[in-house]
Amino acid sequence: MTPTTLRHALGWPALAWLCAALALPAQAQALTEPQNVVQLSASAQQEAVQDWLTVTLQARHQAPDAGTVQNQLKASVERALAHARPRAARAGLALSTGAFQVQPRYGRDGQVVGWQGTAELLLQGRDVAQVAALAGDTPGMSVAQMYFSLSREASQRLEAEVRQQAIARFKATAQQVAQEFGFAGYTLREVSVSDGGVASPVRPRLFMAAEAKADMASAPVPAEPGRATVQVSVAGSVQLR
C-alpha cells in the first residue's frame, strides 16, 4: 500500500498517531543511561563554646484553696519581676515569665486535700556572671533548671562556616575522583546540603529543695559553659568529563 493510499484509508489523525508510535522505539534506543556519573558525599563539623545561659527560676506555693495559691504565685512573680527587671535591662539580659500552673493535691483516699502551684521566670543572656548573680538573689524564687546553648547569632555564624567547609570538601573530593579515573574535571549534576543542627551535651538540670531557698540569697549560681558541635553534610552526583 502506497503512502497516498494509506493516508486515504486511515486519515491524517490516525496516520500521525501511527508514525509517532513507530518512532518510539528509535527514540528509546537513542536515550541511554548517563555515563561516568559518580555519587559523592562529604561532611564537616566544628565545636564552639556555648555562649548562651538560660536559668529557670521557680516559685512554689500551696494552700487549702486554688484562689489563694494563684494570688500567692502572682505576688511572687510581681515581686521577682520588680527586682530583676531593672538589673536585667542594665545588663542586657532577657527576662520573661514562664509556666504558671495551679493543680489540686490529693490525699490517700483520692480526695482533694488542698492546692499547689508553680510559677516560672526565664532569665537568659551571654553574660554568665550577670545571669548567675541575678538568678541567685531574686527574692521568692529558686533555681529549678539551668543550661547552656549556642546563641542564635553564634549558631548561624558557625553553621555558615561549617557549610563552606563541607562544600569545599565535596568539591575537592569530586576533583580528586575525576583525576583518579583519568578525567580532567567534573560537572555538578545534583546536590543536597543538610544542616545537621547543633549537637549539645545533655542539659544539666539543677533542682533546689524549698528549704534551700534561704541559702541561695545573694549567692551566685555556679555555671560553667560546655561545648556544642555543628555538623553539615553535602551529598550529590557529578558527571566526570
Cell output for 240: 566526570
pLDDT at 229 over 60: yes
* Per-residue confidence band for 224, with pLDDT thresholds at 50, 70 and 90: confident
How far apart, in Å, are the Cα atoms of 86 and each of 81, 93, 122?
9, 10, 15
Residues 37-69 as b or e (16 or more Cβ within 10 Å = b): ebebebbbeeebebbbbbbbbbbbbebeebebb
Q: Stretch 86-109: mean pLDDT, rounded?
A: 95
Among 88, 101, 98, residue whose Cα is nearest residue 60:
101
Q: Stretch 73-97: mean pLDDT, rounded?
A: 96
Report, in angstroms and rounded to the nearest whole number, the Rg of the chain calculated over CA atoms: 34
What pLDDT does 240 receive? 95
**What would the CATH number be for the domain defined by 51-150+202-226?**
3.30.70
pLDDT tens track for 40-61: 999 999 999 999 999 999 999 9
Around Cβ 132, how many Cβ atoms within 10 Å? 20
What pLDDT does 162 receive? 95
Around Cβ 115, how many Cβ atoms within 10 Å? 19
Q: Stretch 78-100: mean pLDDT, rounded?
A: 96
What pLDDT does 6 receive? 44
Write the DSSP assignment of the chain as a string of letters: --HHHHHHHH-HHHHHHHHHHHHHHHHHHH-----SEEEEEEEEEEEEE--EEEEEEEEEEEESSHHHHHHHHHHHHHHHHHHHHHHHHHHT-EEEEEEEEEEEEE-TTS-EEEEEEEEEEEEEES-HHHHHHHHHH-TT-EEEEEEEE--HHHHHHHHHHHHHHHHHHHHHHHHHHHHHTT-S-EEEEEEEEEEEEEE-PPPP-----GGGHHHHTT-PPP----EEEEEEEEEEEEEE-
C-alpha to C-alpha distance for 151 and 198, rounded to whole angstroms: 11
C-alpha to C-alpha distance for 241 and 187, rounded to whole angstroms: 7
What pLDDT does 225 receive? 83
* Per-residue confidence band for 200, with pLDDT thresholds at 50, 70 and 90: low
Q: Stretch 107-134: mean pLDDT, rounded?
A: 94
Q: Where in the chain is the domain with CATH 3.30.70?
A: 51-150+202-226
Q: Is the model's pTM score more than 0.95?
A: no
Top pLDDT among 223 and 176 is at 176
Q: Of 68-82, 120-134, 183-197, which range is least confident?
A: 183-197
Q: Stretch 116-135: mean pLDDT, rounded?
A: 94
